[in-house]
């Protein structure tokens, strides 16, 4: 038997695939699509988050803190990208923790541990 004959998957009724499509059941709704109330709730929460970020950006614009505006806009894009799609499931768990971790860190402090070493000197 030649290599060409071994690779040929055609049967007597014509070209068939390795999987028999007649035995595959399809779901009534697409995979991952939930009930309507869940979809409305998810987009409502995404919208609420974007409104809060928009208010924060407006306050930063009034103060002239343009770096803060860029950071808030980046967060808004991340929220839409991560929570608006079905991709990147691990980021749905990592994004809130990363935002809180970075937001908790004070900017401009040279001593992150709070120990300057002055209390250790005798």
* 3-state secondary structure (DSSP) of residue 14: strand
Angle made by CA atoms 64, 69, 71, in degrees to the nearest 5: 140
pLDDT for residue 85 = 86
In this structure, the number of other CB atoms found within 10 A of the CB of residue 57 comes to: 19
Each of the 122 residues of the chain gets a pLDDT tens digit; together they read 676 666 666 655 555 555 555 555 555 555 556 789 988 999 999 999 999 999 999 999 999 999 999 999 999 999 999 998 888 888 888 988 888 888 877 665 555 555 555 555 55
pLDDT for residue 61 = 94
pLDDT for residue 23 = 56
d(CA 1, CA 14): 20
Q: What are the start-end ranges of the H helices in the chain?
A: 3-7, 36-63, 66-83, 89-104
d(CA 21, CA 13): 14
Those residues with Cβ within 8 angstroms of residue 81's Cβ, 6 or more apart along the chain or in another chain: 88
């Amino acid at each position: 038997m030649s290599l060409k004959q071994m690779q040929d998957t055609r049967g007597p009724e014509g070209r068939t695939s390795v999987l028999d499509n007649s035995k595959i059941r399809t779901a009534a709704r697409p995979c991952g699509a939930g009930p309507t109330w869940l979809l409305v709730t998810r987009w409502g929460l995404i919208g609420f988050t974007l409104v809060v970020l928009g208010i924060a950006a407006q306050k930063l614009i009034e103060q002239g803190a343009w770096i803060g505006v860029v950071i808030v806009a980046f967060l808004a894009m991340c929220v839409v990208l991560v929570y608006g799609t079905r991709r990147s499931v691990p980021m749905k768990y990592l994004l809130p923790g990363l935002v809180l971790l970075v937001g908790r860190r004070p900017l401009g402090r040279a001593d992150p541990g709070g120990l300057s070493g002055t209390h250790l000197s005798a």
